[in-house]
Homo-oligomer: A and B are copies of this chain.
Amino acid sequence: MTDQLSLVFQALADPTRRAMLSRLRSGAATVGELAEPFAISRPAVSQHLKVLERAGLIERTAQAQWRSCTLRTEPLDEASEWVERHRGEWNERFDLLDEQLRRLKGTGDDRA
C-alpha cells in the first residue's frame, strides 16, 4: 500500500491532518503555529506532518533558523480526479435513467 494516491487518501483520513492542511491554505506556517490549535503532544504533531509530507501534501522548508510548512496541492489533483470520476459516471447513469423515464412518459403521453 505505497502507491501515491493511497498515501494521499490515507493522509486525508484524519481530522487533525485535514485541519492542518486547512490552516496552510492561508499561507506557510511554522510547526509551532500548526500545532497550536490542537491539544496533542509535539511527537504526535511531528507524526502527522510526516504523514502529510510523505503524501506530498506539504513541503517543509528551513529558512534561516525557521522551519516552515507549505501546502502542495498537486497530489490533490489526482485524488480529486479519482473521486470526481466515480461521482460523475454514477450521476451520469442516473441522468440517463431519468432521461429514459422521461422519454417513456413522453411516449405514453403521445399515445394518450
Contacts and interface: CB of A to CB of B under 8 A. Distances in A.
Interface of A: 1, 3, 5-7, 9-10, 12-15, 18, 21-22, 25, 71, 73, 76-77, 79-80, 82-84, 86-87, 89-91
Contact of A80 (B14, B18, B84): B84
Contacts of A3: 15
Contact of A87 (B12, B80, B89): B80
Interface of A is mostly: helix
A38 to B, nearest CB: 14
Contacts of A71: 86, 90
B1 A6 contact: no
A25 to B, nearest CB: 5
